[in-house]
Structures are given as structure tokens and as C-alpha cells.
């Protein structure tokens, strides 16, 4: 929004239209954005791999050269809408130029700068650019429809154009309607219900760091560490957290300080903990009270003794 607003501001200054209104809008936007920028964004983006120059990164992975010709890459991936966008540039339409001025700034910045270590995560800027461009592109398509009013094959052209516009997206949506993904198993739901119903809202659980964690995602309870891969690409290095979690599960007696350091109330052992951490189950059973264990033994939840008052 900030980038698009900058483009609209420049357009208003050049066109000398409603400059006061645009400046007021820009000032309010800056005031609203500054707290987040100062408290979070600037510090987050100061890590390695953030804010680096890489031209046409989406077609130039790792900076090793373009895989396809510049224009051909976008024509191949976006299709007819991109062709119409190129033609639209030559139309003298004030409304379209005003919209595209904001989109253009987003596109230029996204083409030249990588904002995160993971290149693919930068595509969100291109999504916003395309969303802004879609409005004038659609209107331009209808303008062309009116211009070919006398063409006999007008309706054939319209059907073919709609097919090119919507076929790939329709196939993608159709695939999702027949796909079947399971994010949480019945056992996941059951342990989450226990955590939600039988533990205090402020309780902290020691678990592994998978993204589909029922304790955090379904029960809404705190966990020591979330998915480090996602957080790493937002500027957070959680290596120490992972090392501490692994050390405790593999040798609970020698690493009790981990529980105090993270103020842990409950310890969870499920399929992810068993697969990734190889926990010392005998030591856990000997040292901690079992407060939950399902019939299939998919989940065991232990209570930390000195944290019992903060739990159920």
C-alpha cells in the first residue's frame, strides 16, 4: 500500500490534481505505518539476506542469469492479460494511468529488490501489482470488445479470449475441489481438546516445531517455539530454541534448566516428537506426571511438577 500510494502521490503531483488531499492521505498513512516500521520491520530486515538487489529475481534465481527472455517470461506466465497490459500503456486513459502509476512503483521495486532471504516469498508484491493491474486490464478488454462490434467472428473471439483468461485458473480451482488434505488427525483434535479444556489459557507447552501443531493451532496454547523455517525468513534465528528442545527430550534429567528457561508447564510427546527428537520416554515417565495419554498412545502429555499451579 505504501509503494502504491507513493506512485499515486507522484501522479497527483504531475497532474496537479487534488494535491492537498493526496498529501493528507500520505501523511496519515506514514503516521500509521511508522510504529510498525520502527518497532519491527527495520530491525527484522537488518539480517543477512534481506534487502539485496537482484534484477528480475523470479526469472533470475540466485542471480545466475535470465532463464527466459524478459518479456517472454511474463507473457508465458501471465498470458494474455500481460499482453493487454502492454497495449494498455499506449492508451490515453487518465483513470487507468492513475491506477497503473501505483502498480508501476510496486512492480519496479519487486523487480529490482529482494526483501527476504527466500526468493519465492517476495512474490507477494507481484500479487498486489497484478491485482491493481487487473482492473484496467478488464476494462481495456471491454473497450476492445466495443471496437470490434462490426466483426462477424466477434463472439468467437470473445469465447476464445475468455478461455485463455480463465481456463488455467478454473483447472486449478477444480483440482482443489476433488483434493483431500488432512491437516489434523482425530488424535490431534483430541489432545488439543484436552489442552483447551484442562489447562490454563496462559500455559506453555514444550513440543516440536511443526507448523501443524495442535497445541498452538487448535487449542490456542503457548508453545516454546513455532516453525523455525518460516520465522527464519522473517528475520528470526531460532537455532538455540531448537537445540534446547532437542537436548531436553533426549536427556531430560541433564537439561531440566530448559523447562525453567522457557517457563514450561507441560511436555508433549506425539508423533513429531518421537520422529524428530527420539525422546527418552523412560526418563520422562519417571520424572513427570502423566496428565493425558490417548488409547492409541499417539500422544502423552506430562505436567511439570513445579509448574502445577499454573496448569490445570
Q: Identify whether 119 is part of a domain.
A: yes
Q: Identify whether 28 is part of a domain.
A: no
Please write the tens of the pLDDT for every residue from 294-312: 988 899 999 999 754 344 4
Burial class (CB within 10 angstroms; exposed 0-12, middle 13-18, buried 19+) of 170: exposed
Q: Distance of alpha carbon 40 from its chain centroid, rounded?
A: 17
- 305's CB contacts (< 8 A; 6+ apart) are 288, 289
User: Does 121 share its domain with 147?
Assistant: yes
User: Does 251 share its domain with 226?
Assistant: yes
Q: Identify whether 122 is part of a domain.
A: yes
User: Does 163 share its domain with 86?
Assistant: yes
User: Does 148 share its domain with 200?
Assistant: no
- 280, 237 in Cβ contact below 8 A? no
Structural domains in the chain (count): 2
| CA-based nearest residue to 301, from 276, 254, 264, 275 | 264
Residue 289 above 90 pLDDT? yes
Directed axis angle between helix 2-15 and helix 19-36, to 10°? Answer: 160
User: Does 277 share its domain with 202?
Assistant: yes
The reported pLDDT for the residue numbered 309 is 39
- State what percent of residues in the chain have pLDDT above 90: 53
Domain range for residue 127?
Answer: 47-171
Q: Identify whether 2 is part of a domain.
A: no
Q: What is the CATH number of the domain that holds 210?
A: 3.40.50
User: Does 97 share its domain with 198?
Assistant: no
User: Does 141 share its domain with 209?
Assistant: no
- 249's CB contacts (< 8 A; 6+ apart) are 269, 273, 277, 278, 279, 280
Residue 119 vs residue 288, higher pLDDT: 288
Q: Identify whether 179 is part of a domain.
A: no
User: Does 237 share its domain with 214?
Assistant: yes
Domain boundary among 119, 148, 171: 171
Residue 45 above 70 pLDDT? no
Domain boundary among 113, 142, 171: 171
Q: How confident is the model at residue 50 (pLDDT cuts 50, 70, 90)?
A: low
The reported pLDDT for the residue numbered 310 is 42
Lowest-pLDDT choice from 176-190, 196-210, 241-255, 280-294: 176-190
* 33-52 average pLDDT score: 66
User: Does 304 share its domain with 263?
Assistant: yes
User: Does 204 share its domain with 293?
Assistant: yes
Q: Identify whether 5 is part of a domain.
A: no
Directed axis angle between helix 80-88 and helix 70-78, to 10°? Answer: 120
User: Does 238 share its domain with 158?
Assistant: no
Q: Identify whether 280 is part of a domain.
A: yes
User: Does 78 share its domain with 165?
Assistant: yes
Domain boundary among 143, 171, 199: 171
Residue 42 above 70 pLDDT? no
Q: Identify whether 241 is part of a domain.
A: yes
Amino acid at each position: 500500500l505504501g509503494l502504491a500510494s507513493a506512485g499515486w502521490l507522484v501522479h497527483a503531483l504531475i497532474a496537479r490534481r487534488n494535491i492537498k488531499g493526496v498529501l493528507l492521505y500520505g501523511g496519515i498513512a506514514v503516521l500509521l505505518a511508522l510504529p510498525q516500521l520502527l518497532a519491527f520491520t527495520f530491525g527484522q530486515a537488518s539480517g543477512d539476506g534481506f534487502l539485496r538487489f537482484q534484477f528480475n529475481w523470479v526469472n533470475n534465481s540466485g542471480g545466475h542469469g535470465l532463464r527466459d527472455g524478459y518479456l517472454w517470461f511474463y507473457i508465458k506466465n501471465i498470458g494474455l492479460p500481460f499482453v493487454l497490459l502492454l497495449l494498455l500503456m499506449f492508451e490515453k486513459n487518465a483513470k487507468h494511468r492513475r491506477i497503473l502509476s501505483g502498480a508501476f512503483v510496486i512492480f519496479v521495486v519487486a523487480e529490482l529488490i529482494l526483501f527476504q532471504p527466500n526468493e519465492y516469498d517476495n512474490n507477494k508484491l507481484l500479487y498486489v501489482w497484478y491485482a491493481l493491474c487487473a482492473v484496467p486490464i478488464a476494462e481495456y478488454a471491454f473497450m476492445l470488445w466495443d471496437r470490434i462490434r462490426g466483426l462477424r467472428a466477434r463472439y468467437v473471439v470473445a469465447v476464445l479470449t475468455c478461455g485463455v483468461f480463465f481456463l488455467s485458473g478454473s483447472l486449478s480451482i477444480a483440482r482443489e475441489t476433488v483434493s483431500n488434505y488432512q491437516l489434523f488427525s482425530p488424535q490431534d483434535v483430541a489432545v488439543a481438546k484436552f489442552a483447551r479444556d484442562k489447562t490454563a489459557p496462559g500455559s506453555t507447552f514444550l513440543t516440536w516445531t511443526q507448523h501443524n501443531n495442535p497445541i498452538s493451532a487448535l487449542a490456542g496454547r503457548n508453545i516454546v517455539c513455532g516453525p523455525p523455517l518460516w520465522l527464519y525468513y522473517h528475520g528470526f534465528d531460532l537455532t538455540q530454541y531448537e537445540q534446547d528442545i532437542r537436548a531436553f527430550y533426549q536427556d531430560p534429567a541433564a537439561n531440566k534448566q530448559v523447562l525453567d528457561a522457557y517457563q514450561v508447564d507441560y511436555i508433549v510427546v506425539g508423533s513429531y516428537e518421537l520422529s524428530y527428537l527420539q525422546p527418552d520416554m523412560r526418563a520422562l515417565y519417571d520424572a513427570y506426571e502423566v496428565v493425558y495419554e490417548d488409547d492409541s498412545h499417539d500422544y502423552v502429555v506430562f505436567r511439570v511438577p513445579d509448574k502445577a499451579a499454573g496448569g490445570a
